[in-house]
C-alpha cells in the first residue's frame, strides 16, 4: 500500500488534551492510517523553520514549516482570504485583489512544494487540500515529482463569468490541471470547474468528468465530506445529561430554542439570518416571548478588514432587534462571538427545536450534519437549510430555503416551530440515514480510490 501524504495550509498536531484537533483532522477520521505524513504550515510566523520540523503523534508524522510575517499577510490574509475566498463564494463585491499578494501566494505555494519534495517517497499518494494551495501540485511537478497528486476543494468553485473577474484566474485554473484528480463536494462545483476548463482552455470533458491537459489525463470526482455521526450523537447524549444543558434548559423556561453556529464569516449569511428572525417576530406575533435564538459565531480571520466590518454590522443588528422586542425577562437573540467546545455545541443542538443553517454560499456545511446527528429520535428538531449550501444536495428532507428571502426563512421558522411530532420524526429519520451514511471513510475512500486507480 502506498503511503498517504496530506498537504493542508494549517497543520494542528494532536495533543493529549485535543486528540483530534482541527476540522480537517476530524473529517479525515479513519483516513489517517498509521504511517501517514501530514505536511503544512505550523501556524507560526517568524524567520525560522524553513526546513520542516517533524513530530510523530498517534502513528502519523507531522511535518510543519513556518511563514514569515510578510508571507502570512500576502499569501494567507491577502490573496487567500481577501481575494480567493470571496471570489469562490460569489462575492465579487468583496474581491480585494493586489498583484503583490498574488505573487506572495505563488511564492508560498512554491515554498510548500520545495520543502515537501525531499520528504516524498516514489510511490506516495499526495493529497493537497483547499484554495490556499491551488499551485502546490504544479510546483511539485515542475520540480520533478512523479507521484500521483490529488487536490480537494472544500469551498465552492465558480462558473467562468465569475472566475473571469480574477486577473490570475487562468493561471490558477492551469495550476489545478497539474493534478491527477480534482475533487469537489458537489456536482455543481465540479461542473463549474469543467465549464471553466472548457471556456478558458478549450478542453471538452468526457462523460466521467475527465479531460486531457497537455497530454495528461485529469480526472474529477464528487466526494461529499461527512461527519462521524455516531460519535457526535453519543457526545450529544452525554452533553444532554451535563450541567450546561441543564442550565440552558432552565434559562429557556420551556421556550423553543432556534440555534445557529458558524464561524463569523460573511459567507454564512448571518445578517440575513438575523433579519429573518426579525421578520418572524414582526409577522408572527405569537412567537414573541415564546422563542429564543442562540447564535454562536466563532470569531475568525480577524486580520481581514471585511471580517471586522461584519462583526460591527452584527453587533448593531442584534442590538437593534433585541432593543425593539426584548421584555424585561426575555431577549430574542442570544449572541456569542466565540467558539464553544464540541460537547457544549452538541448538547445545545440537541436542545434546539430548530437548527438554522442559512449560508449564502457554502462548500458543504458540516453544522447541518452535526445538528441532525445530535437530535433525539423521540423528539427531533427541524433543520432549516440554505439551498446554497453543498449539504442541500444530500439533506433534501430539511426545510430548504433561499437565505436572501427573509420572509421565506421567517415562514420556514414558523413552519418548523408548528411542525407536529409525526412530520418531524419522518423528516429526521430520512436525514439521519443520509448523515450516518456519509462517514469520513466514505469521503476519503471516494477520493482516494480515484487517485489510486
229-240 helix and 342-351 helix, angle to the nearest 10 degrees: 80
Question: What is the residue-wise DSSP string for 9-37?
Answer: EE-----SSSTT-SHHHHHHGGG--TT-E
Nearest approach, Cβ of 370 to ligand ADQ (angstroms)? 5
Nearest approach, Cβ of 163 to ligand ADQ (angstroms)? 18
Q: Is 102 among the catalytic positions?
A: no
Nearest approach, Cβ of 74 to ligand ADQ (angstroms)? 22
Closer residue to ligand ADQ in complex, CB, 362/397: 362
342-351 helix and 366-374 helix, angle to the nearest 10 degrees: 60
What mask, x for binding ligand ADQ by CB under 6 A, covers residues 169 to 208? ----------------------------------------
**Is 318:361 a contact under the CB 8 Å cutoff?**
no
Nearest approach, Cβ of 173 to ligand ADQ (angstroms)? 21
What residues pair up with 54 in beta bridges, in sequence order? Answer: 63
Closer residue to ligand ADQ in complex, CB, 5/385: 385
370 binds ligand ADQ (CB under 6 A): yes
270-283 helix and 305-325 helix, angle to the nearest 10 degrees: 10
Question: Which residue do the cell numbers 440515514 mark?
Answer: 433
**Is 257:299 a contact under the CB 8 Å cutoff?**
no
What mask, x for binding ligand ADQ by CB under 6 A, covers residues 288 to 307? --------xxx---------
Choose, by CB under 6 A, the member of 5, 128, 225, 240 that binds ligand ADQ: 225
Q: What CA–CA distance (Å, rounded) separates 172 from 104?
A: 14
Choose, by CB under 6 A, the member of 102, 148, 154, 190 that binds ligand ADQ: 154
Q: Pick the stretch among 4-12, 48-56, 258-266, 409-417 that binds ligand ADQ (CB under 6 A).
A: 258-266
Q: Is 324 exposed, middle or buried (0-12, 13-18, 19+ CB in 10 A)?
A: exposed
Closer residue to ligand ADQ in complex, CB, 370/411: 370
How many binding residues for ligand ADQ (CB under 6 A)?
Answer: 21
Q: What is the DSSP letter of 221?
A: E
What mask, x for binding ligand ADQ by CB under 6 A, covers residues 329 to 368? ----------xx----x----------------xxxxxx-
394 binds ligand ADQ (CB under 6 A): no
Q: What CA–CA distance (Å, rounded) separates 122 from 378?
A: 53
Choose, by CB under 6 A, the member of 263, 311, 424, 442 that binds ligand ADQ: 263
Q: Pick the stretch among 97-105, 117-125, 192-200, 255-263 that binds ligand ADQ (CB under 6 A).
A: 255-263
Nearest approach, Cβ of 201 to ligand ADQ (angstroms)? 26
H-helix or E-strand spanning residue 399: strand 399-401
261 binds ligand ADQ (CB under 6 A): yes
**Catalytic site residue from 74, 124, 130, 362:** 362
Q: How many other C-beta atoms are found inside a 10 Å radius of the C-beta of residue 228?
A: 20
Q: What CA–CA distance (Å, rounded) separates 373 from 26?
A: 15
The C-alpha R_g of the chain, in whole angstroms, comes to: 22
Q: What is the DSSP letter of 199?
A: H
Nearest approach, Cβ of 282 to ligand ADQ (angstroms)? 27
Q: Where does 156-281 show beta strands of DSSP type E?
A: 181-184, 211-213, 216-222, 256-263
For residue 232, what is its C-alpha cell? Answer: 457526535
**Catalytic site residue from 89, 102, 129, 154:** 154
Q: Is 379 among the catalytic positions?
A: no
Closer residue to ligand ADQ in complex, CB, 206/336: 336
**Is 401:388 a contact under the CB 8 Å cutoff?**
no
Nearest approach, Cβ of 226 to ligand ADQ (angstroms)? 10
Cite the active site residues: 154, 362
> Which residue ranges make up the site for ligand ADQ (CB under 6 A)?
23, 27, 154-155, 225, 261-263, 296-298, 339-340, 345, 362-367, 370
Amino acid at each position: 500500500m502506498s503511503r498517504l501524504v496530506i498537504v493542508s495550509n494549517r497543520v494542528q498536531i494532536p495533543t493529549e488534551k485535543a486528540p483530534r484537533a482541527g476540522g480537517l483532522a476530524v473529517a479525515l477520521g479513519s483516513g489517517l492510517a498509521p504511517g501517514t505524513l501530514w505536511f503544512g504550515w505550523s501556524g507560526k510566523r517568524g524567520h525560522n523553520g524553513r526546513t520542516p520540523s517533524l513530530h510523530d503523534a498517534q502513528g502519523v508524522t507531522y511535518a510543519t514549516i513556518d511563514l514569515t510575517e510578510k508571507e502570512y499577510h500576502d499569501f494567507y490574509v491577502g490573496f487567500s482570504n481577501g481575494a480567493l475566498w470571496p471570489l469562490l463564494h460569489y462575492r465579487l463585491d468583496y474581491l480585494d485583489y493586489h498583484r503583490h499578494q498574488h505573487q506572495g501566494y505563488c511564492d508560498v505555494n512554491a515554498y510548500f512544494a520545495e520543502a515537501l519534495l525531499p520528504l516524498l517517497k516514489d510511490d506516495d499518494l499526495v493529497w493537497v487540500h483547499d484554495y490556499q494551495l491551488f499551485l502546490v501540485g504544479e510546483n511539485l511537478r515542475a520540480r520533478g515529482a512523479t507521484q500521483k497528486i490529488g487536490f480537494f476543494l472544500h469551498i465552492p468553485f465558480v462558473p467562468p463569468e465569475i472566475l473571469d473577474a480574477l486577473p490570475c484566474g487562468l493561471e490558477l485554473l492551469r495550476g489545478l490541471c497539474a493534478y491527477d484528480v480534482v475533487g469537489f463536494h458537489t456536482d455543481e462545483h465540479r461542473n463549474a470547474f469543467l465549464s471553466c476548463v472548457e471556456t478558458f482552455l478549450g478542453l471538452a470533458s468526457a462523460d466521467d468528468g475527465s479531460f486531457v491537459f497537455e497530454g495528461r489525463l485529469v480526472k474529477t470526482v464528487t466526494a461529499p465530506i461527512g461527519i462521524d455521526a455516531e460519535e457526535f450523537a453519543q457526545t450529544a447524549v452525554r452533553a444532554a445529561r451535563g450541567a450546561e444543558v441543564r442550565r440552558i434548559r432552565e434559562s429557556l423556561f420551556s421556550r423553543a430554542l432556534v440555534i445557529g453556529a458558524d464561524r463569523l464569516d460573511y459567507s454564512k449569511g448571518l445578517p440575513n439570518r438575523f433579519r429573518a428572525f426579525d421578520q418572524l417576530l414582526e409577522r408572527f406575533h405569537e412567537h414573541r416571548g415564546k422563542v429564543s435564538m442562540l447564535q454562536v459565531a466563532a470569531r475568525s480571520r480577524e486580520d481581514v478588514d471585511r471580517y471586522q466590518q461584519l462583526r460591527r454590522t452584527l453587533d448593531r443588528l442584534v442590538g437593534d432587534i433585541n432593543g425593539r422586542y426584548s421584555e424585561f425577562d426575555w431577549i430574542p437573540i442570544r449572541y456569542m462571538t466565540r467558539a464553544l467546545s464540541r460537547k457544549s455545541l452538541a448538547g445545545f443542538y440537541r436542545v434546539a427545536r430548530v437548527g438554522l443553517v442559512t449560508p449564502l454560499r457554502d462548500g458543504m456545511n458540516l453544522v447541518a450534519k452535526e445538528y441532525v446527528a445530535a437530535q433525539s429520535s423521540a423528539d427531533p428538531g427541524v433543520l432549516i437549510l440554505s439551498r446554497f449550501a453543498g449539504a442541500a444536495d444530500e439533506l433534501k428532507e430539511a426545510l430548504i430555503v433561499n437565505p436572501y428571502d427573509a420572509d421565506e426563512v421567517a415562514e420556514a421558522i414558523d413552519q418548523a416551530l408548528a411542525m407536529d411530532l409525526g412530520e418531524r420524526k419522518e423528516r429526521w429519520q430520512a436525514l439521519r440515514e443520509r448523515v450516518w451514511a456519509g462517514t469520513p471513510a466514505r469521503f476519503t475512500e471516494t477520493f482516494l480510490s480515484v487517485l489510486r486507480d
